[in-house]
Amino acid sequence: MEKLFVVKIGGNVIDNDNNLSAFLTSFANIPGRKILIHGGGKIATKIGDQLGVESKYVNGRRITDDATIDIVTMVYGGLVNKKLVAQLQAKGCNAIGLTGADANIIPAVKRPVKEVDFGWVGDVNATGLNTANCRLFLDNGIIPVLAPLTHDQQGHILNTNADTIASSIAVALSAAYDVRLIYCFEKKGVLENVDDDNSVITLITRAKYKQLLNEGKLFAGILPKIDNAFDAIEAGVKEVLIGHADDLMQNTTENTSGTLITN
């Protein structure tokens, strides 16, 4: 099987021009097939403020009302996505900017209202991803750059978590490729001591994860990423790597510097 790298980059890197340029240089230099999934929440919040649309959150998750879906569509699918694509083209990487609606790549369903009405937020239909169209780009040397937007097949764009999109894409393509899913953020990996940036846990298996949880060594913010990683592995993804955006190139090799999560 050919190798495929599915890389997710968070908003904290996108917000810093120098960090972003360095990251995109690394991404452009990854050989072979690759996909980039990006966030961009702070930029959406800033532009919303400028337009007089207040950002509302419940438990850290954005409420996407009618005005907000227009803003995140403009920012994620337009401003951020096309800037990334233009910079990748300048670095010799033939990228194409997409949302989940383009080529019907990521159909989703509007999140049902329970305790909270999240508005135009989408939950990915994992079995409905259009892998044939994804492969059409990949097999012709075109690099998909996916904004965190999906669609409900009823004409509505939906705001969707970028980590979830990355995991869903990685799982869907794991039948055709040997997939490594890489989550890039501002830490060097999963830390044993949250106050020590060098306390990276280099390998986490299910048994090791259970041990770390029992010892209370993991900070709460990283747990959803690790759970997401194990879900992806159980669904067919070979490896998941959590690491610093600056270490992307090294983390595409066998000699990784972040946290490798595997069975």
40 annotated among ligand-binding-site residues: yes
Lowest mean pLDDT among 45-54, 76-85, 163-172, 218-227: 218-227
| pLDDT (0 to 100) of residue 59 | 80
Tally of residues, the chain: 263
What is the per-residue pLDDT across 246-262, written as a single tens digit (0 to 9) for each? 999 999 999 888 999 98
Task: Report the pLDDT averaged over residues 181-196.
Answer: 89
Q: What proportion of the chain, given as a percentage, has pLDDT over 70?
A: 100
165-to-125, 146, 147, 235 alpha-carbon distances in Å: 10, 9, 9, 14
Asked if CATH classification 3.40.1160.10 holds for the domain at 3-261, the reply, yes or no, is yes
What is the per-residue pLDDT across 196-213, written as a single tens digit (0 to 9) for each? 888 899 999 989 999 988
pLDDT of 90 strictly over 90: yes
62 annotated among ligand-binding-site residues: yes
199-to-207, 217, 244 alpha-carbon distances in Å: 19, 11, 13
Domain boundaries, the chain: 3-261
| pLDDT (0 to 100) of residue 260 | 93
Tracing tokens 């949302």 back to the chain, one arrives at 99
pLDDT band at residue 263 under the 50/70/90 scheme: confident
Task: Report the pLDDT averaged over residues 82-96.
Answer: 98
Lowest mean pLDDT among 64-78, 131-145, 159-173, 219-233: 219-233
Whole-angstrom Cα distance, residue 232 to residue 238? 8
What is the per-residue pLDDT across 120-147, written as a single tens digit (0 to 9) for each? 999 998 788 999 999 999 999 999 999 9
